Structure 1
C-alpha cells in the first residue's frame, strides 16, 4: 500500500497505472474509518483495478471551528484498516497541500439551490466546501469511478450534479447506508454519544420509518406528517433541525407525479448532530392537492405539496 501526502508523488503513481490501462476507483474520506467506509472501499475494488482512498479532514466544509477541532484524527488506526482492506494507495495531504493559497484565497465551487437547502441551510457554506474539495480530488486523481454512501444523501446528489455540469469523466456510485445491528446509521459522530444518547439515537431512523409507513398507507398531508415526526423526535430528547419529504431525484418539493420520495431528518442529541434518510417508492402518484408549495420555493399551485418543516430554536 502506497501512502502519499504530496501531489507530485500522487500523479507519478497514477500515471504508472494509467500507462498499464488500469481502472482507478476513488473513495474520499475524512478518516476515522468504520464499517461503512469499508463497504465503500470493498465496492470500489469490484469496480476497478486499483483503489485510492483519500483521508483529508476538509476545513472548508466545517461551519464551526470547534467542530473542526473536535473531529477525531485516527490516522494510524485508519492506515491499519486500509492495509487489511488491501487499499492500493492512500492520499493523505495536509491542508496547505490542498489549499496552498489558504482557504480565504481559494476559488470555490458552488452548486446553486441544491447546495443551499436542507443541510446547506443548516450549515451555510458546507456544500461549497464539499464541492470544492471533491473537484480538487477528481482533478488530481482523475478516477474512473468514485464511491460515496447514501447516508449523506444530499451530498451524493450535489456531487452527481457537479460531475454532470463540470463534465467530469467519472462514474459516481452511491451505496446504501450501512447500519449497526440496532439500525443506527454508522457514523464517525456516533463515538461522541454516551450510553443513554446512543440508545436514543436509534429513534431518528425509527421515526423516519414510521413517517414512511404513513405515506405508504395513503396519508398525504406532508406538513402535518413532518410536524408530527418532529414532535416525536423532540419527545425523545432530540433538538430537531429539520424533517423533510422530497423528490428523491433532486430534492425538489414533490409534485403529484412523483412516486420516488426521500425522507430526510437532522437532529441533535446533546452536542452531536445526527442525520439519516429513508427512500419511499409509491405504487401510484396519489399525492393530495391539499398541501401547497411555500412562497420560498416559488409560486404556489393547488397541487404542490409543501417544503420541509424546520424547527427554529
Structure 2
C-alpha cells in the first residue's frame, strides 16, 4: 500500500495514474478508522479506479484543546485496516505543517447561515476549521468525487456549499450513517466510552427513532419537548441540544410544509465524551 506524507509527491503519483477513463475517489478522515469509514471507502472503491484516504487530525476545528489532545491517533492500525480492504487505496497522512505550510490558522467562511446553527452555535470556529482543511485536502488531491458520512450532516451540507462557492469541480457524495449493533452512530469518539455506557448509548438513537414517530402527529416544538423529557429521565446522558431543521437550509422548523424535508439533530455528553446523531423525519 502506498502512503504519502507530502502533497507534492502525492500529486506527482496521481498525475501518473491519469488515463482517459481514470477517476479518483477521496475519503477525508481524521483517522481512528472504524466500519463507518470503511463503508465510505468501499463506496468510493465501487465508483472509482483509485481511492485516496486522507488521515489527518485537523487542529483548527477543535474549539476545545483538551479534546484535541484526547483524540485517538492510530495511523499504523488505520493503514493495516485499509490494506485489508483493497490494494487500490492510497493513504495520504500529512503533518500539520505540510497541510498548513507553517501557518496553522483557519480561514473565515460564510455559508448562507449553515454554519451558525447547532454545531456552529456550540463550537466556536469549528466550521471555519473544517472548511479550511477540507478545501486544502480537496485541492491537494483533486478527486472526481469525495465521500462524507451523514452522521456529520451539517458538515456535509457545508462542504457541498464550500465546493459551490469556491468553484471546486468535485462531486460531494453523502453516505448513510453506519451504526453499532445497539444503534449508536459509529464514531472514533465511541472508543473513549466505558463498555457499560457504550452499550446504554443506544438510547440516543432509540430516542431519535421515537421522535420520528412523534413528528408524524405532533408539532416540532412538542417533539423537542418530548425528547428533552426523555433525556431528563436518563441523566447519564446530558443533552446539549435537540434541533429540528429544514434539510437544505438547516433553519429551525417553525411550521411544517408538505413539500419540505426535515431532520432532527442532537448533541449529547456522556463520560465527558461529546456524541452527535441525526435522523431524517420525513
Indicate the residue corresponding to 1:240 in structure 2: 239
TM-score, normalised via structure 1 length: 0.85
* Superposed displacement of residue 199, structure 1: 2.4
Q: Secondary structure at the match of 2:279?
A: strand
TM-score, normalised via structure 2 length: 0.94
Conserved 8 A contact 1:116-1:124: no
Indicate the residue corresponding to 2:228 in structure 1: 230
Answer with 111-120 or 77-86: which moved more: 111-120
The total of aligned residue pairs comes to 278
Indicate the residue corresponding to 1:42 in structure 2: 42
CA–CA distance in 2 between the matches of 1:268 and 1:37? 22
Once the two structures are superposed, the pairs formed by residues 1-313 of structure 1 within 5 Å of their partners are: 1-19=1-19, 21-86=21-86, 87-104=88-105, 107-216=107-216, 218-220=217-219, 222-237=220-235, 238-254=237-253, 255-257=255-257, 258-281=259-282
| Displacement over 3 Å in runs of 4+ | 106-110
Answer with 36-45 or 92-101: which moved more: 92-101
Structure 1 gaps, min length 5: 282-313
Q: Which has the higher contact order (CA 8 A, sep 6+)?
A: 2
* Superposed displacement of residue 134, structure 1: 0.6
Q: CA RMSD in A?
A: 1.5
Q: What CA deviation, in whole Å up to 9, does each residue of 1:248-297 have, x standing for no partner? A: 1221233542441101111101201111111011xxxxxxxxxxxxxxxx
Conserved 8 A contact 1:143-1:170: yes
Q: Secondary structure at the match of 1:152?
A: helix
- Rg: which structure is higher? 1
* Superposed displacement of residue 234, structure 1: 2.7
Answer with 66-75 or 249-258: which moved more: 249-258
Indicate the residue corresponding to 1:301 in structure 2: none
Conserved 8 A contact 1:110-1:127: no
CA–CA distance in 2 between the matches of 1:145 and 1:93? 20
* Superposed displacement of residue 22, structure 1: 1.2
Structure 2 gaps, min length 5: none
Q: What CA deviation, in whole Å up to 9, does each residue of 1:210-230 have, x standing for no partner? A: 1110111x111x223212201
Cα 1:256/1:226, change in 2 over 3 Å: closer
* Superposed displacement of residue 3, structure 1: 0.3
